[in-house]
Amino acid sequence: MLVQSYRSLLSLPAKCRLIPVVENRVQFLRVFDGANIGALFLRHCSLFEIASLMERAQQRGLAIYVNVDHIDGVHPDAAGLRYLAEQLRVTGIISNHPRILAQGKDYGLETLQRIFAVDSTGLEMAIDSVDQQYIDVLDISPALVIPHVIPNLATPLPLPFVASGLISTAKQVQAALKCGALGVAVSRPELWT
């Protein structure tokens, strides 16, 4: 039986700020090799093929977040979100869609709203549209723009944020962390160690 992790992105230790983005069973297995991993994002994989690995990750205290816009096996509707919360016992969900995130809150899931920062004006407009009642953390993508955009925002970010997208080096990870990111989501397994 799966046990829901009580770890959260909001309470990750400083040494666990790198967040693997897992897209298949092989990558999921590599997560267990990393000593400083506290959370992971699931994307583009079948939840049914990795359920046993999810249980193992939760037993290790890892927080599991599912990108419901890009996952196989569960539809991002009320029944799917309930299944994620009650059966798979994930920590939270990631989505571009505020309505889905609001439903996720109804099931006790931590919510991350994905925002695409195409320019500083677009980022500010996206942030202004965030309903803080239903969103716990912002997921700002691409992470590479964060050092250039975040310091120049006219208004401070209303919520904590993670950085994701287009990260290929440890230096890029550190640049996003220096800008205040809670963590940096990385799909390249060679950076997870």
CATH of domain 14-191: 3.20.20.70
The pLDDT score that the predictor gives to residue 5 is 47
The pLDDT score that the predictor gives to residue 88 is 93
Neighbours of 17 (CB within 10 A): 22
Q: Please say if the pLDDT value at position 83 is more than 70.
A: yes
The pLDDT score that the predictor gives to residue 170 is 95
DSSP β-bridge partners for residue 39: 63
Task: Give the Å distances, CA to CA, from 113 to 38, 51, 159, 168.
Answer: 20, 24, 10, 23
Dump the DSSP string for 74-89: --SSHHHHHHHHHTS-
**CA 38, CA 164: separation in Å to the nearest integer?**
16
Give, as one character, the DSSP assignment of residue 52. Answer: H
Omega prior to 142 cis, within 30 of 0: yes
Please give the span between the terminal C-alpha atoms of the chain, in angstroms, as a whole number. Answer: 29
Residue with the larger pLDDT of the pair 78 and 129? 78
For the segment 153-162, the average pLDDT, to the nearest whole number, is 82
SS3 per residue for 93-105: EEECCHHHHHHHH
DSSP β-bridge partners for residue 115: 140
Q: Please say if the pLDDT value at position 20 is more than 80.
A: yes
Contact 56, 74 (CB under 8 A): no
pLDDT band with cut points at 50, 70 and 90 for residue 4 = very low
Supply angle C-alpha 88, 92, 98, rounded to 5: 125
